[in-house]
Amino acid sequence: MPALNDPLELPCGVILPNRLLKSAMTEGLANSKDQATPRLAALYKRWAEGGTGTLVTGNVMVDRRFLERPGNVVIEGNGGEAALQDWASAGTSANNQLWMQINHPGRQCQRQVSAQPLAPSDVGIDLIGMFGRPKPMTQADIRDTIQRYANVAASAKAAGFTGVQIHAAHGYLISQFLSPIANTRDDQWGGSLENRARFLLETVAAVRAAVGPRFAISVKLNSADFSKGGFSHEDSLRVAQWLSEARIDLLEVSGGTYEKLALMGDQGDEDAPDTSRHREAYFLKYAQGIRNVTQIPLAITGGFRSRDAMQQALDSGALDVIGVGRPLCSQADIRPLLAGEQSSLPNWEAVLQLGAGWLGPKSSNQKIRTLNFGAATQWYYRQIIDLAEGREPTTHKGLLRVMMKHMYSERRMAKRRAKLLRE
């Protein structure tokens, strides 16, 4: 069985230097023109030199009208090619892989960016007023967006990134197309799973045509979205088979949406398996199912902290790559873990909460759980900023204080960006 330090050759011929992957985390470090900045280069240089074999960037958006949050990098004829090259050079400085995650938020576009985002259907999200009701995409919108993914992938390759990841999880646009709840279309893009998966598969094909056969293409896919009547595990198995036929190079398995926070180990479903709720590897059981139907190299992200759990997951044969995200926000250098000198990465989620009991992340109230999730996420944003600005992470800062500061900063950034776009 492979060890954490072992390389992995992907179907395209690209070689991952070890079995650890920094999963995508939104950075919010773009400038007001939605361009990459020196802070992104500094951040990814720290992660590259810290020993993680493959780094996946946060969302790089394909349409300036619709962002996941202010501070997203966008590639849409808005310049900034030199900054992209600097980012790519810094992020591959240790002969590691650097993959650009490309994405469109769909209905998960904050109101402060757009009050009416585009989505497969006009099905909104009931989530404390963060998102507006979306406008259903026309045929022209769909074709345009698929081409945008291909354009961004080509730009990534030209800038020096070594691969791309198409984000098809966590409730963003492609995930919305896959979901029978979010996608109520009755044309060739909705209805049957074959139709709901068409957007993803045509996007993969367009990206492959844009980057060629020797460039790494990954897809991040939900094992399920854990909503009744939504994208199921059985659906994910079939989609994984189609992605294998499309010859992607790595499938990263995650799960959940903003409404069902399985990506944080909260599936909000008492019928969910204990192995997904309580163990480190939230989605290992689901990856085992995917392994049974396809031999695509697999990565799992969600919950990994200890070296033993990582190695046991590799030993199981259910996956090939261990995805790690939030621990890298407070510890960029994981060489001690790889060397066996450190047994576990930081687990701040165990203490990050807005309050005790009903006010905490295990509240019976979904909106309270969501607020805790959002506040913890914003706390990690703070650590990312510290790393990007050359400081050590400020892990001592309280959750409520960080949340309020972040909300103020996001509003200010959104206003500056909106003013610039108007001008």
The confidence band for 55, taking pLDDT boundaries of 50, 70 and 90, is very high
Q: Do 125 and 173 form a contact (C-beta atoms < 8 A)?
A: no
Q: State the residue range of the domain holding 62.
A: 8-346
More confident: 246 or 255: 246
Residue 225 belongs to domain with CATH number: 3.20.20.70
The torsion of the CA quartet 180, 177, 247, 235, rounded to 10 degrees, works out to: -10
Residue 123 lies in a domain: yes
Residue 261 lies in a domain: yes
* Residue 213: pLDDT over 60: yes
Residue 364 lies in a domain: no
pLDDT digits (tens, 9 = 90+) for 363-402: 998 888 878 888 888 899 999 999 999 999 888 777 878 8
Return the closest-CA partner of residue 218 out of 148, 298, 147: 298
Mean pLDDT, rounded, of the chain = 91
β-pair type (135-136, 118-119): parallel
Q: Do 20 and 4 form a contact (C-beta atoms < 8 A)?
A: yes
Residue-level pLDDT at 279:
57
Instruction: Write down the pTM of the prediction.
Output: 0.92
β-pair type (54-56, 216-222): unpaired
Residue 418 lies in a domain: no
Return the closest-CA partner of residue 377 out of 332, 421, 407: 407
Least confident of 42-56, 262-276, 333-347, 392-406: 262-276
Residue-level pLDDT at 208:
98
Residue 249 lies in a domain: yes
Residue-level pLDDT at 292:
92
* Residue 259: pLDDT over 70: no
Return the closest-CA partner of residue 298 out of 329, 255, 267, 252: 252
Query: CA of 159: how far to CAs of 23, 57, 111, 387, in Å?
Result: 20, 14, 31, 23
Q: Do 252 and 323 form a contact (C-beta atoms < 8 A)?
A: yes
The number of folded domains in the chain is 1
* Residue 158: pLDDT over 50: yes
Residue-level pLDDT at 319:
95
Residue-level pLDDT at 268:
43
Give bridge partners of residue 300 from the DSSP assignment: 253, 322
Least confident of 171-175, 291-295, 306-310: 291-295
Residue-level pLDDT at 395:
83
CA 395 – CA 358 distance, rounded (Å) = 24
Residue 266 lies in a domain: yes
Residue-level pLDDT at 260:
59
Residue 393 lies in a domain: no
Residue 371 lies in a domain: no
